[in-house]
Structure 1
Amino acid sequence: MAWFEGVLGEISAFLWGLPLLIGIVGTGLYLTFKLGLLQVRLLPAALKLVFSKQDKESEGDISHFAALSTAMAATVGTGNIVGVAGAILIGGPGALFWMWLSGFLGMATKFGEAALAVRYRVQDEKGEMSGGPMYYLERGLKQKWLGVLFAIFGSIAAFGIGNGVQSNAIATTMNNTFGISQWLTGIVLAIFAGLVILGGIKTIGKVTSYFVPFMALFYILAGLFIMITNFGLVPEAIAVVFSSAFTGEAAVGGAIGAAIRAGVARGVFSNEAGLGSAPIAAAAAKTDLPGRQALVSMTQVLFDTLIICSITGLTIVMAGLYGENASFEGGILTNQAFEFFLGDFGPILVTIGLLFFAASTIIGWAYYGEKCFQYLFHSAAALTVYRIVYVAVVFIGATVPLGIVWLFADVMNAMMAIPNLIGLLGLSGVIAVEAKVITDKLREEKAATGKVDTVPER
């Protein structure tokens, strides 16, 4: 196992090297300029759409908000607590800046993914919508083999990034904080996941619509309380983040490259922009235009990386737990930071946050994995087997050491990203068309209400 873990480590380091990081950031940068800084121009409209009334006549299975909640459920997980801390351990406080930058560019990427997912989605034999990279690679780019590759990697990746990693993080943290047996946590998690997953996307959408806002608000309010009550430390922490981002100071290894790689890689692990997972949920949304749901999906990165990850990262930097003081694991480091400001209640708060974040990820990724599996095998029996195995892995992940699964998750993430990035670049013209269509539509809707036009021209 040690040999295999070493091999996986080498593969992960190679895949997440300079070429893929340039590919992810470069795609986001390219789409940002091609779409005329759409994530800035249309952000107010996007936030309004998140909570807008749904057109019941539109095709789709769930509301804009339910689709966003499902995607948020899948992305807001251990990456927001453990992953951010891990990035700071590897690259110093400067990693947070590169996480912010990749998140900003990732908003354009996320728009593109969702727009393509809705445009090229299909209705399956049960009358439910199916979409995502496998469909826009096949139907849009006309490269089915790339769609098949993505589906293979996605259906396998679900057991890593969306399942074993999450259940193990919950069980370990619950055991460390409350002394609860990892077996007991595993059993409860597996039962919870099974009940939700077997209900399909409509049940998942309903559960996450209530689950996600609560868990996000809980963690955000806790972080804001720390920052408000220690406001004098905030400007200094931000200054450290920016200075470290370009000098590499306080980075383990002392190189600016460590900060960039850690920030971008963990940012992608957290918000999944470029991986192609979130558009699978976006494809299920009831919407009249691809661009309308794409704008809603774009806000996912804002909430995930630019808000929730920032709370974790800034709390760690404000506590001074970086460089020589950062002699902890990622999860322990976050616990230490919250304990620094909130005393014994800090680790309890982090544990509760991690419990909600990781449990929701298990639910969201179950949908991603089964949609990829369904693309490969059009069999109800095979899908039932996949769901059963997925629930079983929830229990297994909670009860056995899974250090190797983190490496496995990184490898599968990279393998998903490659065909998806090819699709985004190859269909960038289609994305630009959908961006123009929704911009024009929003302007028409504003004019129809008699209000002053607030939708900026490109």
Structure 2
Amino acid sequence: MDPIIDFLNGILWNYVLVYGLLAVGVYFTLRLGFVQLRHFPEMVRAVLKAPQNDRGGITPFQALCTSLASRVGTGNLAGVAVALYLGGPGAIFWMWMVALVGMATAFAESSLAQLYKVRDAGGQFRGGPAFYIARGLKARWAAVLFSICLVLAFGLVFNAVQANSIADAMQGAFGLPKLGVGIALAALAGVVIFGGIRQIARVAQVVVPFMALAYLLVALYVVVANITEVPAVLALIVKSALGLEQAAGGVAGAMLNGIKRGLFSNEAGMGSAPNIAAVATPNPHHPCSQGLVQALGVFIDTLLICTATAIMILLSGVMTPGSELTGTPLTQEALSVHMGEWGRYFVALAILFFAFTSIIGNYSYAENAMVYMKAGGPAGLTALRAGTLLMVVWGAYESVATVFNAADAAMGLMATVNLVAICLLSGVVAKLARDYFAQRRQGVPRFDSGQYPELHGEIDLEIWGPDAKPRV
């Protein structure tokens, strides 16, 4: 089985996804007129506007925090260190580039998720790639395939990996037993996920801003303390990326590792974040407003948090020729240079928060997929929640290499399906964007289904019709 999985991963991750995700990001950047640059202030406004009151949805800020809960994980600490180790400082430049084009992809997939969302039996909004694949493309088989892969990868296996990272960090920093950490982690996660998506969103809107702000404040302290060296570090990143400075892996190595780690971290185009984007009640009442919110999520994940990790490592001087330090130990060593032994504990706590929120964020995506597959009743969701918690305990003390490879294959397959879908629906995205920004120039945008007769029969007019009203 392992050779088959390795072969599939080799094809998906070395060719299809690295080039496919990048190409789709460039395509949407050009087709949408550099939306991520021209309308960046609108992204911030879309998050900060007062939420609409609809008991079926969560607020845009909660949706942003929940998607960041999944996006911001161990990849932002350990993954950046691996990219630096394998590709040199230039890898960070290519992480920036892939995040910039990925913002356009995130805008596209999350706008579609909003447009094609529905209400479930309990009146709660549900949506995501499975819904726009089935409704917009009439390809139910592909929607089911996507949903199965999403549940396996995000609902189960990736949570075992996150738990493994937490257990390693807690054991290394505080000497805590891995099994005990796994049980405690499962108990804490259970309190959150058994409360459903609303509970996950409430926890995320408190924990995610706290953890992100704390991490960025530490990075700011390091930057200020070493301010005279910062310009040289930034210049090194750019020079290494363009081949003007000799670095590990050369230009090709920097590009490949930066792109891979950037895509893995920000998840733009993977089809994961749209699942929570669809649950939000947008303000203004237009699908594109949530697309803008999720594009901002990519910016925060990579251009802020990943960059913070990279700069702290490069300023520390611990990356020396011949050094075997990589991953979490490299990040810990860098922080210990800046902050003493306390830096190791800080990294362990950061991994705890980052990885824990990834577990609850990942689960929320899987719950949406279960609803699409008509398995979102009490029995189905209880089974998913139990499976998630068991994987957390198992992952805390077991090696998860083989299963992680299988999850990589599942995620690669779902991302491929999603990329094809959003490209086929790119005409809808372009029309939505033109409509939104034309209305924005006149005042407050509002979606008018009468301007989209081609979508009648595909979208839920109780949500997007002219007489649609919030359920308070």
Which aligned pairs between 1:207-356 and structure 2 lie closer than 5 A?
207-247=203-243, 252=248, 254-287=249-282, 288-322=285-319, 324-356=321-353
Change (3 A) 1:147 1:356: same
Q: Counterpart in 1 of 2:415?
A: 417
Correspondence 1:198 to 2:179: no
Q: Counterpart in 2 of 1:451?
A: none
Q: In the aligned structure 2, how far is the partner of 1:154 from the partner of 1:249?
A: 41
One of 41, 46, 50 as aligned partner of 1:44: 41
Shift of 1:185: 1.0
Q: In the aligned structure 1, how far is the partner of 2:395 from the partner of 2:442?
A: 51
Relative to structure 2, which stretch is displaced further, 8-17 or 330-339?
8-17
Q: In the aligned structure 1, how far is the partner of 2:339 from the partner of 2:320?
A: 22
Q: Counterpart in 1 of 2:31?
A: 34
Q: Counterpart in 1 of 2:113?
A: 117
Q: Counterpart in 2 of 1:11?
A: 8
Q: Counterpart in 2 of 1:454?
A: none
TM-score by length of 1: 0.92
Relative to structure 2, which stretch is displaced further, 277-286 or 260-269?
260-269
SS of 1:324's partner is coil
Shift of 1:325: 4.8
Shift of 1:322: 3.5
Relative to structure 2, which stretch is displaced further, 8-17 or 74-83?
8-17
- Letter paired with 1:44: P
Q: In the aligned structure 1, how far is the partner of 2:394 from the partner of 2:4?
A: 23
Shift of 1:175: 0.4
Q: In the aligned structure 2, how far is the partner of 1:316 from the partner of 1:412?
A: 32
Change (3 A) 1:336 1:373: same
SS of 1:328's partner is coil
CA RMSD of aligned residues (A): 1.9
Q: Is the 8 A contact 2:16 2:416 kept in 1?
A: no
- Letter paired with 1:165: V
Q: In the aligned structure 2, how far is the partner of 1:175 from the partner of 1:386?
A: 28
Q: Deviations over 1:354-395 (max 9, x none)?
A: 111000000000111122133224352122111111111111
Q: In the aligned structure 2, how far is the partner of 1:320 from the partner of 1:331?
A: 16
Correspondence 1:443 to 2:438: no
Q: Is the 8 A contact 1:106 1:301 kept in 2?
A: yes
Change (3 A) 1:17 1:123: same
Which aligned pairs between 1:157-176 and structure 2 lie closer than 5 A?
157-159=153-155, 162-176=158-172
Q: Deviations over 1:331-375 (max 9, x none)?
A: 111111111211111111111111110000000001111221332
SS of 1:270's partner is helix
Correspondence 1:108 to 2:108: no
Q: Is the 8 A contact 2:46 2:293 kept in 1?
A: yes
- Letter paired with 1:24: L
- Letter paired with 1:390: T
Which aligned pairs between 1:57-206 and structure 2 lie closer than 5 A?
60-159=56-155, 162-206=158-202
One of 393, 399, 406 as aligned partner of 1:395: 393
Q: In the aligned structure 1, how far is the partner of 2:41 from the partner of 2:125?
A: 28
Q: In the aligned structure 2, how far is the partner of 1:117 from the partner of 1:135?
A: 7
Q: Is the 8 A contact 1:91 1:248 kept in 2?
A: no
Structure 1 unmatched ranges of 5 or more? 448-458
Q: Is the 8 A contact 1:93 1:322 kept in 2?
A: no
Q: Is the 8 A contact 1:92 1:322 kept in 2?
A: no
Shift of 1:94: 1.1
Q: Is the 8 A contact 1:171 1:186 kept in 2?
A: yes
Q: Counterpart in 2 of 1:24?
A: 21
Q: Is the 8 A contact 2:69 2:354 kept in 1?
A: yes
SS of 2:440's partner is helix
Q: In the aligned structure 2, how far is the partner of 1:289 from the partner of 1:159?
A: 29
Q: In the aligned structure 2, how far is the partner of 1:406 from the partner of 1:361?
A: 15
Q: In the aligned structure 2, how far is the partner of 1:199 from the partner of 1:401?
A: 30
SS of 1:368's partner is helix
Shift of 1:71: 0.5
Shift of 1:315: 1.5
- Letter paired with 2:11: F
- Letter paired with 1:338: L
Shift of 1:255: 4.0
- Letter paired with 1:74: S
Q: Counterpart in 1 of 2:450?
A: none
Q: In the aligned structure 1, how far is the partner of 2:116 from the partner of 2:158?
A: 25
- Letter paired with 1:53: A
Q: In the aligned structure 2, how far is the partner of 1:146 from the partner of 1:323?
A: 47
SS of 1:232's partner is helix
Q: In the aligned structure 2, how far is the partner of 1:207 from the partner of 1:376?
A: 26
Change (3 A) 1:379 1:54: closer
Q: In the aligned structure 2, how far is the partner of 1:415 from the partner of 1:261?
A: 20
Q: Is the 8 A contact 1:111 1:294 kept in 2?
A: yes
Shift of 1:45: 1.4
Q: In the aligned structure 1, how far is the partner of 2:4 from the partner of 2:172?
A: 30
Q: In the aligned structure 2, how far is the partner of 1:177 from the partner of 1:7?
A: 37
Shift of 1:209: 0.7
Structure 2 unmatched ranges of 5 or more? 446-472
SS of 2:269's partner is coil
Q: In the aligned structure 2, how far is the partner of 1:255 from the partner of 1:404?
A: 30
Change (3 A) 1:62 1:337: same
Shift of 1:280: 0.2
Identity %: 39
